[in-house]
């Protein structure tokens, strides 16, 4: 071979040189495509708090609210907390397969789970910490979970808390707005070197993105107005490192708390539809669904099934599957994603109420997923019936929650064909170029949400 041919061959075999050119809107759309199409994911909060199950010294702490915060609620320092919580955290073999199968069955296409929550306990086998599943249980729970998710063909999301109530150098004094357990604060004497904590944070994230195959989502949690972004977490670097390893990764905006990153304050409702992509890919309204969605940005409402993210045996305020399905429909009709939480117990088993609910959602999705996945926000305008509309190209999916008196629905669009999505039976319609009237069957076949496919 001639030298020039050799050279050309060698150059062609070289990996493309990484450029720092900003992502084009088309590249971004391609990267976000699967996530936008999925519409529905499962969230999992699981850590040492799960074993405590809402009790401290065998007494109930609260019957509502986020009990993954139990260490803060009882004001325990990390040693006292760990001593009580560790013996109660005993994952049974095969727990992760149960999670993955439930998510799949429910119609979720991705799962985001806590690799470390605010308590600071790492679910992976970390070389950088002894407060981790590797040291305490001789297991790598992140591996067990990611393997189980991959086996079901689900996308993998890592929730990771940047707040840390365990690490001795995490400097809680730098923020008045981020929580820290009183007992921990009282014990701390040294001035803390927060840069060492940030090195640790970057190191652990480095382990997570290197050792478990493809990471599809990084779900950061969280920052405050007085402590956020580059000064708090070296956030831009952190995101860059993750992207370098996983170019198609999708990340939320919670390393920041500024208006340019979709925040308007410290409340869980304080989200806006303003976001510069350099701060993340999507906005995260928590425990609520924005009235008209968040047009112009990608967003995901995350929600609990009772009132706690982490398992609380005392919380009986369960939503039923009807509410959950209607929430999913509502969110899809506004162009968002739904991240629905389960809080497994200390042995990894899923509370029965959640299993029942997810199974019922799955049954609905089995026949109706077409009206959720790959749809976009409805552009039909204000509706005069109890329900929601999702859109896919020239098809509108009408989700009827309750039958209006007389059973007719009029929409300001022209349609030529209407049929029940479940079963395909046709539905009577009258149409003019500017409106369509549909005559619903005498009884709605699905009391939760009957879907009509309108062409």
Angle subtended at Cα 118 by Cα 113 and Cα 123, rounded to the nearest 5 degrees: 45
Q: Tell me the closest approach of the beta carbon of residue 253 to ligand GLC, in angstroms.
A: 12
What is the smallest separation between the CB atom of 299 and ligand GLC, expressed in angstroms? 13
From 62-70, 229-237, 386-394, 424-432, give the range in contact with ligand GLC by CB under 6 A. 62-70
Binding mask 27-56 for ligand GLC (x = CB under 6 A): ------------------x-----------
Token couple for 49: 């708090």
Q: For residues 66 and 344, which CB has a smaller minimum distance to ligand GLC in the complex?
A: 66
Tokens of residue 23, six digits: 């992502």
Paired sense of beta strands 55-56 and 40-44, if any: unpaired
* Smallest distance from ligand GLC to CB 342, Å: 13
Q: Which is nearer to ligand GLC, 129 or 301 (CB)?
A: 301
Q: What is the dihedral of CA 241, 245, 246, 252, to 10 degrees?
A: -20
For ligand GLC, the closer of residues 55 and 341 by Cβ is 341
In what helix (H) or strand (E) does residue 80 lie, and over which residues does it extend? helix 78-85
Strand partners, 114: 159
Smallest gap from Cβ 367 to ligand GLC, in A, equals 30
How many Å apart are CA 93 and CA 104, to the nearest integer?
A: 20
Q: Which of 227, 256, 309, 397 binds ligand GLC (CB under 6 A)?
A: 309
Least Å distance between CB 340 and ligand GLC? 12
Taking the complex as a whole, how short is the minimal distance between the CB of residue 68 and ligand GLC, in angstroms? 5
Query: 252 has which bridge partners?
Result: 282
Instruction: Please say whether the beta carbons of 249 and 32 come within 8 A.
Output: no
Q: Minimum distance from CB of 266 to ligand GLC (Å)?
A: 11
Q: In the bound complex, what is the minimum distance in angstroms from residue 114's beta carbon to ligand GLC?
A: 7
Query: Where do the DSSP E strands lie in 105-194?
Result: 110-116, 155-161
- Give me the count of residues in the chain: 455
User: Long-range contacts: 53-61, Cβ < 8 Å, 24+?
Assistant: 53/88, 53/311, 53/312, 53/313, 53/314, 53/345, 53/346, 54/308, 54/311, 54/312, 54/313, 54/314, 54/315, 55/313, 55/314, 56/84, 57/84, 60/314, 61/314
Question: What would the DSSP string read from start to end of 252-296?
Answer: BSTT--STTEEESSSSTT-EEEEE-GGG-SBB--BSS--BTB-TT
Report yes or no: 114 and 161 within 8 Å, Cβ to Cβ: yes
Residue 302 makes contact with ligand GLC by CB under 6 A: yes
Q: Residue 283 or residue 400: which is nearer to ligand GLC going by CB?
A: 283
Nearer of residues 312 and 368 to ligand GLC, judged by Cβ: 312
Cβ closer to ligand GLC: 68 or 207?
A: 68
Residues in 63-92 at the binding interface with ligand GLC, rule: CB under 6 A: 66, 68-69
The whole-angstrom separation of Cα 430 and Cα 292 is: 29
Give the total of residues touching ligand GLC (CB under 6 A): 9
Helices first, then strands: H and E counts in the chain: 14, 19
The contact pattern for ligand GLC, residues 198-237, with x = CB under 6 A and - = no contact, is -----------------------xx---------------
The smaller minimum CB distance to ligand GLC, of residues 114 and 436, is found at 114
Two tokens, residue 386 = 């109890």
Measured from the CB atom, the residue of 238 and 418 that comes closer to ligand GLC is 238
Of the pair 222, 401, the CB lying nearest ligand GLC is at 222
Measured from the CB atom, the residue of 43 and 197 that comes closer to ligand GLC is 43
Q: How far is the CB of 163 from ligand GLC (least distance, A)?
A: 8
**Binding status of residue 286 toward ligand GLC by CB under 6 A:** yes
Minimal distance, residue 395 CB to ligand GLC, in Å = 33
Count of Cβ atoms closer than 10 Å to residue 314 Cβ: 15
- Site residues (vs ligand GLC, CB under 6 A): 45, 66, 68-69, 221-222, 286, 302, 309
């Amino acid at each position: 071979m001639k030298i020039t041919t050799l050279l050309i061959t060698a150059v062609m075999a070289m990996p493309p040189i990484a450029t720092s050119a900003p992502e084009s809107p088309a590249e971004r759309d391609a990267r976000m495509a699967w996530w936008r199409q999925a519409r529905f994911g499962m969230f999992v909060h699981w850590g040492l708090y799960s074993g405590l199950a809402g009790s401290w010294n065998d007494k109930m702490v609260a019957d509502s609210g986020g009990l993954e915060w139990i260490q803060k609620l009882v004001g325990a320092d990390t040693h006292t907390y760990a001593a009580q919580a560790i013996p109660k955290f005993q994952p049974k073999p095969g727990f992760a397969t149960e999670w993955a199968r439930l998510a799949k069955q429910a119609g979720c296409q991705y799962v985001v789970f806590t690799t470390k929550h605010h308590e600071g306990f790492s679910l992976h086998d970390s070389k950088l910490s002894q407060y981790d599943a590797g040291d305490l249980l001789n297991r790598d729970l992140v591996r067990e979970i990611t393997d189980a998710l991959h086996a079901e063909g689900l996308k993998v999301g890592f929730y990771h808390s940047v707040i840390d109530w365990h690490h001795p150098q995490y400097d809680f004094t730098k923020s008045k707005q981020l929580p820290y357990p009183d007992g921990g604060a009282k014990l701390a004497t040294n001035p803390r070197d927060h840069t060492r904590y940030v090195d640790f944070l970057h190191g652990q994230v480095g382990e997570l993105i290197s050792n478990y195959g493809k990471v599809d989502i990084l779900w950061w949690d969280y920052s405050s107005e007085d402590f956020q972004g580059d000064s708090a977490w070296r956030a831009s670097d952190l995101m860059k490192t993750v992207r370098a390893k996983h170019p198609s990764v999708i990340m939320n905006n919670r390393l920041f708390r500024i208006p340019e990153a979709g925040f308007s304050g410290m409340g869980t409702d304080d989200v806006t539809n303003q976001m510069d992509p350099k701060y993340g890919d999507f906005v995260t309204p928590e425990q609520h669904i924005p009235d008209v969605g968040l047009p112009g940005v990608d967003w995901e409402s995350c929600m609990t099934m009772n009132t706690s993210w982490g398992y609380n045996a005392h919380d009986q305020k369960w939503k039923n599957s009807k509410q959950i399905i209607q929430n999913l429909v509502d969110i899809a009709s506004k162009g968002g994603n739904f991240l629905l939480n389960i809080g497994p117990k200390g042995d990894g088993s899923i509370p029965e109420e959640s299993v029942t609910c997810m199974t019922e959602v799955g049954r609905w999705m089995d026949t109706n997923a077409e009206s959720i996945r790959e749809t976009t926000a409805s552009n039909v305008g204000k509706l005069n019936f109890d329900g929601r509309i999702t859109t896919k190209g020239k098809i509108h999916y009408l989700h009827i929650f309750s039958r209006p008196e007389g059973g007719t629905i009029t929409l300001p669009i022209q349609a030529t064909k209407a049929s029940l999505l479940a079963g395909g039976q046709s539905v009577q319609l009258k149409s003019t170029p500017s409106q369509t009237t549909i005559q619903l069957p005498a009884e709605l076949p699905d009391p939760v949400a009957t879907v009509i496919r309108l062409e």
